[in-house]
Amino acid sequence: MENKVDKIEEIVQAATSKLKSMEEIAVFLNDKYDDIQKDVAAVKESGKTVSKELGKLPKIVNDDAMQLNKLLRENKRLSEMLTDVRCRSLRDNLVFSGILESNGENTEAVLKGFIQSELEIETDISFEDVRRLGTKGGDRPRAILAKFTSSKQRDVIRRAGPKLRGKHYGINEHLPKEVMETRRKLMPAFRDAKRRNQNARFINDKLLVNGRRVRVEDVQSDSSNREEDMETNTRRSPRQNGNGGFRQNGSRGFRQNGIGGSRQNGSSGSRPNESSDSREERPRRP
């Protein structure tokens, strides 16, 4: 009897010990759960903060883009102002090309003689500076840069330019390098407008056609469109065979043979070098 009681006590003690361990585990898990809940709450709060900051991002990007566009417009405006100032500083200049050059020449006297003989202007023209451009040497004479003391005198010489048509001389404005490059890109539109008898003129680096400004981007876009049209037309053109001829689709077309003759499809066609009159009638099979 006592042994049974001892066993029961041992079982109760073991159960009590296990229950105590389970209570400790439960307390531990409860503490962990509380910590996890706190971490989740912190993550949610951080997510709200991130979402709030991300919500501000489009406005920040938009503001930066607007500021960048403003700076680009201002830079373009200042660049145009600088180009205009440089062109104004060269407004009284003209560049003469094709005038013969000799050693030890008085370039100003040479230019005055050219103005009198070729432009037929007897009025005395005065200059602030006259000189040859570039380094001496080569087969062609160097151009002459002349700075006039008066814009009116410069305009008189400029208007006399058509008298040089058909000759190897030339009179051009003295323009900055970047303006010349822009004009070169706009020249196809200028020539096209002239062919259409439209009013086209350059003002510094700007091309005006019937009062509307034509930009370099417009010319490049038109050129790209023309190239695409040409490529499309090329794809749609008839296919050329190896002998240089074209083969037409359809049952009634002609196909060029290797010796340059033609053979018509169908039963009523004839072979090259054989006329219908010279063919002998072949006997029919019974």
Instruction: Give the domain ranges of the chain.
Output: 1-89, 91-174, 175-237
Q: Report the distance separating Cα 82 and Cα 119, nearest Å.
A: 34
Please tell me whether the overall predicted TM-score, pTM, comes out greater than 0.95 for this model.
no
CA dihedral 191, 195, 200, 204 (to 10 degrees): 10
Q: Is the pLDDT of residue 257 over 70?
A: no
Per-residue pLDDT, 250: 45
Binning pLDDT at 50, 70 and 90, where does residue 196 land?
very high
Which residues, in sequence order, are bridge partners of residue 173?
94
pLDDT digits (tens, 9 = 90+) for 41-99: 888 888 778 777 778 778 888 888 888 999 999 998 898 888 889 888 899 999 999 99
Averaged pLDDT for residues 225-253: 52
Per-residue pLDDT, 200: 93
| Cα Rg, the chain, nearest whole Å | 46
pLDDT digits (tens, 9 = 90+) for 265-276: 443 444 444 443
Q: Report the distance separating Cα 57 and Cα 30, nearest Å.
A: 41
- Who's near 206: CB < 8 A, 6+ residues apart? 213
Per-residue pLDDT, 236: 57
* φ, ψ of residue 263 in degrees (nearest 5): -125, 125
Per-residue pLDDT, 39: 83
Q: Average pLDDT, whole number, for the chain?
A: 79
Per-residue pLDDT, 2: 63
The amino acid at 111? L
Averaged pLDDT for residues 160-187: 92
Per-residue pLDDT, 238: 52
> Residue holding tokens 């700075």?
147
The CATH class of 91-174 is alpha beta
Lookup: tokens for 121:
């202007």
Element (H, E) at 97: strand 93-97
